[in-house]
Amino acid sequence: MALDKMEDLSLKEPLRQVEIGEVEGIPFTKRMCTTWDQVWKFKARPDDLLIATYAKAGTTWTQEIVDMIQQNGDVEKCRRATTYRRHPFLEWSTQESAAARYSGLELAEAMPSPRTIKTHLPVQLVPPSFWEQNCKIIYVARNAKDNLVSYYHFHRMNKGMPDPGTWEEFIEKFMTGKVLWGSWYDHVKGWWKAKDKHRILYLFYEDMKENPKQEIQKILKFLERDVNQEVLNKILHYTSFEIMKGNPMTNYTNEFQGIMDHSVSPFMRKGVVGDWKNHFTVAQNKKFDEDYKKKMADTSLVFRSEL
């Protein structure tokens, strides 16, 4: 089991200080709290597309699929900038003084329409203008255990995230929602409810892995776009894990040098369903499952943790 090795690695990492605050009970970085009022007042436009996810659920993958569709399969156009800059990350910004200064808000405001915007916000914190403008939203959800594993490794490699602590400690934080963007359980359930009232396409990471063509076709239909077979195959190819892992515009190696350490764990890590089995002990799994049952008893939402 990889557990000993992971605890070892987390001990070797330098301690970091990411200050945490809260907005409406949801843990945010202090920086996000500072800019929150502006984010809440964000002016969505009717042709904005929002890609919403719990962190590590398949955001970047979906962003690349959407951009490939919007560019009609033109790979060069999709390589015009990093994922981060093609699709503003609404609530994320860095300090004014930061070397790689970033403000999702400013980027979005300066962007000509039609815009595609990324967010990890829970549904109740989505700026009201998105609902007022009846914007289309694609939500992607991933099974809790794989999502947790991916989030854990992301904390390890990203100094912009709080220290994850040990694997054991991180499971606890995830289960109690004491992580950035809050409870996974509330997030997936909240968006699941919202899909019945709004223009939301609710997708699952596991379905995308099992049958990417079918899921891309769902996105095409939702966006009211059509592509020929050749372009569809191109989208499939260029949004595969292997190609995206090798693409500096999607693998996050082009940005955040000194913040993301891909030698600790690459951003494009494994991209599979079921990696949780290499992480959870039998006891951890049992505890997690019991807690999961209680937290998910009040929803019709069903996830697959293996294919």
26-29 and 116-119: which strand pairing? unpaired
Closest distance to ligand PPS from the beta carbon of 54 (Å): 8
Please say which residue, 207 or 291, places its beta carbon nearer to ligand PPS: 207
Stretch in the footprint of ligand PPS (CB under 6 A) among 6-14, 160-168, 183-191, 234-242 = 234-242
Does 53 bind ligand PPS (CB under 6 A)? Our answer is yes
Answer yes or no: are the C-beta atoms of 66 and 51 closer than 8 Å: yes
Cα(89)–Cα(103) distance, integer angstroms: 8
Residue that the structure tokens 């002990």 belong to: 281
Does 150 bind ligand PPS (CB under 6 A)? Our answer is yes
Among 27, 39, 50, 61, binds ligand PPS (CB under 6 A): 61
Closest distance to ligand PPS from the beta carbon of 132 (Å): 26
Among 10, 29, 35, 59, binds ligand PPS (CB under 6 A): 59
Cα(289)–Cα(276) distance, integer angstroms: 13
Task: Annotate each residue in 235-274 with x if it binds ligand PPS (CB under 6 A) or - if it does not, as one string.
Answer: ----xxx--x-----------------------xxxx---
- Among residues 148, 144, 152, 142, the alpha carbon closest in space to that of 265 is found at 152
Among 27, 58, 127, 164, binds ligand PPS (CB under 6 A): 58
Stretch in the footprint of ligand PPS (CB under 6 A) among 3-11, 57-65, 66-74, 253-261 = 57-65
Dihedral over alpha carbons 66, 28, 152, 156 (to 10 degrees): 100
Burial of 99 (C-beta count, 10 Å sphere; 0-12/13-18/19+): exposed
H or E element in which residue 168 lies: helix 167-176
Asked if the bond preceding 164 is cis, omega within 30° of 0, the reply is no
Closest distance to ligand PPS from the beta carbon of 204 (Å): 12
Asked if the bond preceding 114 is cis, omega within 30° of 0, the reply is yes
Whether 120 sits among the annotated catalytic residues: the reply is: yes
H or E element in which residue 189 lies: helix 184-194
Does 84 bind ligand PPS (CB under 6 A)? Our answer is no
Does 57 bind ligand PPS (CB under 6 A)? Our answer is yes
Answer yes or no: are the C-beta atoms of 119 and 91 closer than 8 Å: yes
Q: What angle do CA 14, 84, 56 make, to 5 degrees?
A: 60
Among 35, 60, 82, 183, binds ligand PPS (CB under 6 A): 60
Cα(210)–Cα(169) distance, integer angstroms: 31
Stretch in the footprint of ligand PPS (CB under 6 A) among 21-29, 50-58, 99-107, 165-173 = 50-58
Stretch in the footprint of ligand PPS (CB under 6 A) among 4-12, 169-177, 233-241, 280-288 = 233-241
Enzyme catalytic residues: 120
Residues that bind ligand PPS (CB under 6 A): 53, 55-61, 146, 150, 153, 239-241, 244, 268-271, 275
